[in-house]
Amino acid sequence: MKFAAVLNRDGGTLRTTDLAAFSDRMRQTLEAAGHSLSIDVVAGKDVVETLDNAASRRAVDVVLAGGGDGTISAAAARLMGKKKALAILPAGTMNLFARGLGIPQSLDAALKSFADGEIIAVDMATANGRPFIHQFSIGMHAKMVQLRQGMEFGSRLGKIGASAKAAWATINNPPAMNVTLAVGKAEMTARISGIGVTNNLFGEGHLPYADNPSGGVLGIYVTVAQQRAELVKFFFDVARGRWRDNEHVEIHQADRTVLKIHSGSRKFRAVMDGELVRLERETTIEIRPGALNVLVPASIAAAKAA
């Protein structure tokens, strides 16, 4: 296969990686398996343009994207509905989409898995037509991300620490939003502290990622928790992957949902794949089954085919 690698030198763990040495290992590993490879190492501001170029090149079979959540999500958006496949170098903080695909969590192990990997089709989702691979969320998560953006950190551990501080600040002053959520033929109106809509249902007992990335459904998680004790338990259960154990979380699934915001004239934000975006008064979120081709370890492809 012909690989086009786009590495965001400002993204995730790549900021502290010797990218010249890693690029050499990429060439050795993939070329030894009979593949060809071009590599672009670019600044964060140039990632989107470089991904556009890689995705449009006729001779390319696989776009190999390395960086944080924003880089991977941008690459997936450009490959949605195309024959080209996405290979993910897990250089982010949690790498949740990569985990759901069974991709090894170290850069070199992931690279080795691509050498004899296989391409499978998995789902994506869209919010008002904008693609995402992991989650669209409002309320607490969006507030946490906004607060974290105002903090300084220069490493993965620093980001985790900043996230913990932002979570505690959110617990002490949680948002409350009046919303209407249409799920299938049902419609509910409530005052919520958070809603997350995910590309397939999260698995239980681990970090929040989908066990089946081609399940064909949205996971819809609604919480109305407001008291400090309720919120502490909520965050603890989320961290353990015990969504269903929390009495303040409602879980639904559908192939389409419509979210309407009724709270005043205040401008709220949403989070899509870790990035803050403007929240529209009405958002239609839909699953896109099999919309993305991904390169996964051969053992993962075999297990999904069984």
Same domain for 52 and 15: yes
d(CA 15, CA 230): 37
Question: How big is the chain by its Cα radius of gyration, in Å?
Answer: 19
Same domain for 197 and 53: no
Same domain for 56 and 23: yes
Instruction: Please give the model's pTM, rounded to 2 decimal places.
Output: 0.92
Does 299 fall in a domain? no
Does 303 fall in a domain? no
For the packed helices 228-240 and 156-172, what is the interaxial angle rounded to 10 degrees? 150
Average pLDDT per 10 consecutive residues for the chain, totaling 306 residues? 96 90 96 97 96 95 93 96 96 91 95 96 98 96 85 67 79 90 92 95 93 97 89 84 86 96 81 93 97 95 77
Same domain for 142 and 267: yes
Domain of residue 220: give its range: 129-288
Report pLDDT for 93: 82
Same domain for 86 and 33: yes
Same domain for 173 and 111: no
Q: Which two tokens stand for residue 117?
A: 């990997």
Q: How far is CA 244 from the centre of its chain?
A: 21
Q: Count of domains in the chain?
A: 2
Same domain for 94 and 72: yes
Pick from 270, 133, 266: nearest CA to 194: 270
Report pLDDT for 54: 96
Same domain for 162 and 56: no
Same domain for 20 and 56: yes
Same domain for 97 and 48: yes
Same domain for 137 and 104: no
Q: Return the CATH number at 270.
A: 2.60.200.40
Q: Return the CATH number at 21.
A: 3.40.50.10330
Report pLDDT for 153: 64
Report pLDDT for 220: 97
Does 30 fall in a domain? yes
Same domain for 284 and 135: yes
